[in-house]
Amino acid sequence: MEASNLGAKFIPHAPIRILSVDVHPIFREGLRAVLAAEADITLVAQATDATQAITEFRRYRPDITLMDVRLPGRSGTEALVLIRNEFPNARVIMLATSDSDGEIQRAMRAGAAAYILKSMPQDEILGVIRSVHAGRRHVPPEVAARLAEHLGEEDLTSRELQVLQYVRDGYRNKQIADELGIAETTVNFHIKNVLEKLQANDRTHAVAIAIRRGLLQV
Neighbouring C-alpha atoms within 13 Å toward the C-beta of 216: 24
- What's the pLDDT score for residue 9? 44
CATH of 16-149, one of 3.20.20.80, 3.40.50.2300, 3.40.250.10, 3.40.1050.10: 3.40.50.2300
Q: Where are the domains of the chain?
A: 16-149, 158-212
Question: Could you tell me if 64 and 18 are in contact, meaning their C-beta atoms sit under 8 angstroms apart?
Answer: yes
Global pTM value: 0.68
pLDDT (tens digit, 0 to 9) for every residue of the chain, 218 residues total? 444 444 444 445 789 999 999 999 999 999 999 999 999 999 999 999 999 999 999 999 999 999 999 898 888 988 998 999 899 999 999 998 876 656 677 787 788 999 888 888 999 999 999 999 999 988 767 666 666 666 556 678 888 989 999 999 999 999 999 999 999 999 999 999 999 988 899 999 999 988 877 777 66
Whether the domain at 16-149 and the domain at 158-212 fall into the same CATH topology: no
Helix (H, G, I), strand (E, B) or coil at 64: strand
Q: pLDDT for 80-96, tens place per residue?
A: 989 998 999 999 999 98
- Backbone phi and psi for residue 135, each to the nearest 5 degrees, phi listed first: 100, 10
94 sits in which H/E element: strand 92-96
The CATH fold of domain 158-212 = Arc Repressor Mutant, subunit A (1.10.10)
Alpha carbon separation from 146 to 22, 98, 124, 185, 203 (Å, rounded): 24, 11, 19, 34, 23
- What's the pLDDT score for residue 177? 94
